[in-house]
Amino acid sequence: MDPKWTIKLRVQSTSEISLAIRRGLEGKVVFVLVAGTLEPGEYEYIWDGLDASGQSLSPGSYFLTLTADEASESVLMFHY
């Protein structure tokens, strides 16, 4: 099974954005989808369950963390 997540993001105004996958409760970043300045618009990113070095991650709970300027929000994801 090759799970893939499609993450859609709408940016309202030019912002410093970070969109990262973090492992479990300790919050270690395992993959960064985007980090930098984004202009207003709609964006789509795909995470295929691999870490930054291209290795398959073990099943478990992960957090998708969006940081925009000074605000941050996380969503729990389950990787099988």
Answer CATH for 5-79 from 3.90.930.12, 3.40.50.720, 1.10.3720.10, 2.60.40.4070: 2.60.40.4070
Give me the residue spans of the domains in the chain: 5-79
The answer to whether 19 and 64 have CB atoms below 8 angstroms apart is yes
pLDDT of the chain, 80 residues: tens digit per residue: 567 899 999 999 999 999 999 998 778 999 999 999 999 999 999 999 999 999 999 999 999 999 999 899 999 999 88
List, as own/partner pairs, every contact residues 15-20 make where C-beta atoms lie below 8 angstroms and the sequence separation is at least 24, other chains included: 15/68, 15/69, 16/67, 16/68, 16/69, 17/66, 17/67, 17/68, 18/65, 18/66, 18/67, 19/45, 19/64, 19/65, 19/66, 19/67, 20/64, 20/65, 20/67
